[in-house]
Amino acid sequence: MKPSHTVIGIVVLLLSALFFAGLSGISGDAGYAGLSPRFLPTLVAVGLAVCGALLTLQGLRGGFQAMPAEDASLPSRPHSPRGFLWVAAGLVLNIVLIGTIGFVLASTLMMTCVARGYGSRRPLRDALIGLALTVPMWLLFDALLGIELPLLPLLERAGG
């Protein structure tokens, strides 16, 4: 048994319990597409409960185990402060710029920063991949779900 690993699982279980406790404060009336506002928080709570139970069980059985092939491919220094800063900067830029440059461009910028944080040195390729992923997401929210995300707010303000 590895107590520190077991504690991580228990903390995740407690977090799921907090999510379940918070569900009572959310109205059960139908929201978008007939789904209750409780739907996604319930999914998160269930997911956390499952992960917490599995982490706790794994901790009780001797700790987190990696496959031998995975061990060989792990970097000698898995935590990179510089990489973390790139990812954090991408998230902050997304939050700050989404209202100005829109969902697609802000999310593309975020994905480019995240890729850089994970070691990519090809920002144009990363931006194109980010664009290829965010345009369909924007279309899904806008056209299918009826949730309006800002596409290009600067152009909308200039035009009207």
Each residue's pLDDT tens digit, 31-90: 665 667 778 888 999 999 999 999 899 888 887 665 565 555 555 665 688 999 999 999
Q: Is the pLDDT of residue 10 over 90?
A: yes
Window from 28-37, 99-108, 139-148 with minimum mean pLDDT = 28-37
The whole-number average pLDDT for the span 16-41 is 80
The whole-number average pLDDT for the span 20-34 is 77
Q: Where are the domains of the chain?
A: 3-65, 81-159
pLDDT at 155: 65
pLDDT at 38: 79
Q: Is the pLDDT of residue 159 over 60?
A: no
pLDDT at 69: 59
- For residues 101 and 74, the model is more confident at 101
Task: Single out the residue of 10, 4, 15, 12 nearest to residue 63, CA to CA.
Answer: 4
